[in-house]
Chain A
Amino acid sequence: MTSTRSRPRIRARDIAPYLFIAPFFVLFLVFGVFPLGFSFWLSLHQWEPAAGLAAMRWVGLDNYAFALTDPWFHRSLWNTLWFVVVSGVPQHLVALPLAYFIQSRLKRTRNLVVGAYFIPYITSSVAIALIFATLYSKDYGVINAALQAIGLQGAGQGIDWLGDAAYTKPAVAFVVFWRYLGWNVVLYLSALQVIDTDLYEAATLDGAGLWTQFWHITLPLLRPMIFFAVTLTLIGNLQLFEEPFILVDAEKGVAPSVMTSAIFMYRLAFSDGDFGTASAVSWILFLIIALLTWVNGKMFQREGDSHGAR
């Protein structure tokens, strides 16, 4: 009888992964768990924060019921999903071919062009609010002026981009697109670096054009990065707060048309003094985001992606 070891040797290989991920989880334990627990606990209470911690009042699932039946919450969800689609989809549809074009056709001007596309991401919010308010101005804005110059708009018939409910949503969606396009270009660019240029050369020799190569070589190999970038856009846009908040002042009549779920939550917490319901909303949102991310994963992720390239 061949004797087997009575106790398997613990290999470095077995412990190493835990050590590698330990920093994240330690930090998470110290700084993440308490706020999470607090937020969940809070969602079961009614609380006006200025009154101090002792003022929490147990209400059970009342906050959740209130939020789920609230017309403003539904509206904000609709707005949020609208933004996800309208500003999220173009971001990727444009960023992908653009990154490919930059990678394959631009050599000397590459950094400059990528930089230009990336600049919106680093422009400060204050500047964005002020400058887009100026650009979108009904009577004095550059956009209306341009439209009038081309003849698509009558003189004095300026569109109130940030004041007319029909146009405000697209106007804000455009700013989100503007801001994150470069970010996606950079992501895709970094993934394009690993694709073996030999593949392209072989394809060119076989007579395949730029577009064919893109479709049959680049896209399939970029699948993991597409999944990643789309997931980020999904998570980010479902939590969209900043752009609508800074472009459309909360006091404006048209504000409800761009009120996202995150803004609704903010309003609940700081304007209505109802932190409990705000926390409940954040957890409901979390479930929605988790669900959609899982769906996204099912659509894009393939088992083979986890085991190395090529």
Chain B
Amino acid sequence: MARAERMAPARLAAFALVGVGALLLVSPFYFTFVFASHTRSAIFDTPPPLWFGSAALANYGMLIERLPFWRNFGMSVYVAVMTTALNLLLCSMGGYAFAIYEFRFKKPLFAMVLASMMLPAFLNMIPSFMVMQFLGWIDQPRALYVPGAAGALGIFLMRQYIASGIPRELIDAARMDGCGEFRIFWSVVLPLAGPALGTLGLITFINSWNNFIAPLVVMRSAENYTLPLALRSMQSPNNTEWGTLMVGSAIAMLPLLVAFFFCARRLVAGLTAGAVRG
């Protein structure tokens, strides 16, 4: 009884802090939608608008007129889904191998994986363009989802999770039962890697969705742009239609929100903590 009373104010304070923090974090997102419903002049007003305006439809109309918006949207979805699906499969395979097996060159190979994350991407534009040109993949979506189909980040993440979260005993037991290597991976390890897969899927989807450098290098027609590139192409040094741009950005963020809630259930669900206890 006494302890419960003592805890209440601290608990309240903790809740309040987390709540206010959450509000602060959400406001730019909120303002994107608010600005999307205002004219350009209103956005640059003092003070900037805090509530929705009435220009949303007009802005949307201009968006559709200027860009093949939904076509670009579709392209973004396609590329993001392909990238995510491929990454989920290939990265969990790679991560599993590095986590569980001992094999020759394991350390240097893993070092290579890690190292590949440390070089900045935009200098690769010209040689990447040359490779795509050579393969004949210019202006095609596969140039966007194939190169990153087994991302180093994903392998790193899966390795970390499997190494520390999947008990060795399970694998040994399965092997003793006569399971083949791939079967162990597929039926024993993967189901237990739920949270990691959820996390990997989410970040892969988001990174693919927001990437504009790869499409800039590869795409040659406006219909094939992904969303970020298309929205950028509406920006003029002095004359951007901000309201319209905000509408586009707002719509572009929605699939990411959907992806989050889709993965969150898997992530945060808290699975039965392992088949082997204690």
Q: Tell whether any CB of A sits under 8 Å from a CB of B in the complex.
A: yes
- Listed in ascending order, the chain A residues whose CB lies under 8 Å from chain B are 12-14, 16-18, 20-21, 23-25, 27-28, 30-32, 34-36, 38-39, 49, 98, 101-103, 105, 110-111, 113-128, 130-132, 134-135, 139-140, 142, 145, 178, 181-183, 186-187, 189-191, 193-198, 224-225, 227-228, 231-232, 235, 239, 241, 262, 265-266, 269, 275, 278-279, 282, 285-286, 289-290, 293, 305-310
Looking at the assembled complex, report how far the CB atom of A203 sits from the nearest CB atom of chain B, in whole angstroms: 14
Chain B interface mostly: helix
Is B190 in contact with chain A by the CB < 8 A criterion?
no
Q: Are B164 and A305 in contact (CB under 8 A)?
A: yes
Task: Identify the stretch in B53-61, B65-73, B148-156 within 8 Å (CB) of chain A at 4 or more residues.
Answer: B148-156
Tell me the complex Cα distance, A32–B156, Å: 17
Tell me the complex Cα distance, A20–B109, Å: 13
Q: List 21 A-B contacts (CB under 8 A).
A: A23-B94, A24-B90, A25-B109, A27-B147, A30-B131, A36-B119, A39-B119, A110-B268, A125-B228, A126-B231, A127-B28, A127-B31, A131-B28, A131-B31, A132-B28, A139-B46, A140-B46, A140-B47, A189-B267, A235-B118, A306-B163
Looking at the assembled complex, report how far the CB atom of A97 sits from the nearest CB atom of chain B, in whole angstroms: 9
Q: Are A23 and B123 in contact (CB under 8 A)?
A: no
Q: Mark B171-202, 1 if CB is under 8 A from A, else 0.
A: 00000000011100100000000011011001
Q: Are B235 and A126 in contact (CB under 8 A)?
A: yes
Q: Are A39 and B118 in contact (CB under 8 A)?
A: no
Q: Mark B260-271, 1 if CB is under 8 A from A, else 0.
A: 110011011111
Q: Are B249 and A126 in contact (CB under 8 A)?
A: yes
Q: Please pick, from A116, A126, A178, A191, the residue contacting B245 in the complex, using a CB distance under 8 A.
A: A126
Q: Please pick, from A121, A224, A232, A289, the residue contacting B153 in the complex, using a CB distance under 8 A.
A: A232
Q: Are B264 and A123 in contact (CB under 8 A)?
A: no
Q: Are B97 and A12 in contact (CB under 8 A)?
A: no
Q: For residue A20, which residues in chain B have a CB less than 8 angstroms away from its CB?
A: 93-94, 96-97, 101, 185
Q: For residue B101, which residues in chain A have a CB less than 8 angstroms away from its CB?
A: 13, 16-17, 20
Q: For residue A286, which residues in chain B have a CB less than 8 angstroms away from its CB?
A: 115, 118-119
Looking at the assembled complex, report how far the CB atom of A199 sits from the nearest CB atom of chain B, in whole angstroms: 9
Q: Please pick, from B43, B116, B203, the residue contacting A28 in the complex, using a CB distance under 8 A.
A: B116
Q: Are B264 and A190 in contact (CB under 8 A)?
A: no
Known: A35-B124, A269-B123. A24 touches B253 (CB 8 A): no
Residue of B nearest to A124 (CB): B249
Chain A interface mostly: helix
Tell me the complex Cα distance, A289–B120, Å: 11
Residue in A134, A306, A308 whose Cβ sees the most chain B Cβ within 10 Å = A308
Residue of A nearest to B180 (CB): A12
Tell me the complex Cα distance, A142–B46, Å: 10
Q: Please pick, from B116, B117, B260, the residue contacting A122 in the complex, using a CB distance under 8 A.
A: B260
The tally of CB-CB contacts under 8 A between chains A and B is 259
Q: Are A127 and B246 in contact (CB under 8 A)?
A: yes
Q: For residue B14, which residues in chain A have a CB less than 8 angstroms away from its CB?
A: 101, 105
Looking at the assembled complex, report how far the CB atom of B31 sits from the nearest CB atom of chain A, in whole angstroms: 5
Is B140 in contact with chain A by the CB < 8 A criterion?
no
- The number of chain B residues with a CB under 8 A from chain A is 103
Tell me the complex Cα distance, A278–B112, Å: 22
Q: For residue B138, which residues in chain A have a CB less than 8 angstroms away from its CB?
A: none
Q: Are B181 and A16 in contact (CB under 8 A)?
A: yes
Q: Are A196 and B29 in contact (CB under 8 A)?
A: no
Is B85 in contact with chain A by the CB < 8 A criterion?
no
Contacts A30-B147, A123-B32, A308-B163 aside, 17 further interface pairs with beta carbons under 8 A come to: A21-B98, A27-B146, A98-B18, A115-B261, A116-B25, A117-B22, A118-B260, A122-B253, A124-B249, A132-B28, A190-B196, A198-B278, A228-B156, A235-B117, A265-B123, A282-B119, A307-B163
Is B2 in contact with chain A by the CB < 8 A criterion?
no
Q: Are A289 and B118 in contact (CB under 8 A)?
A: yes
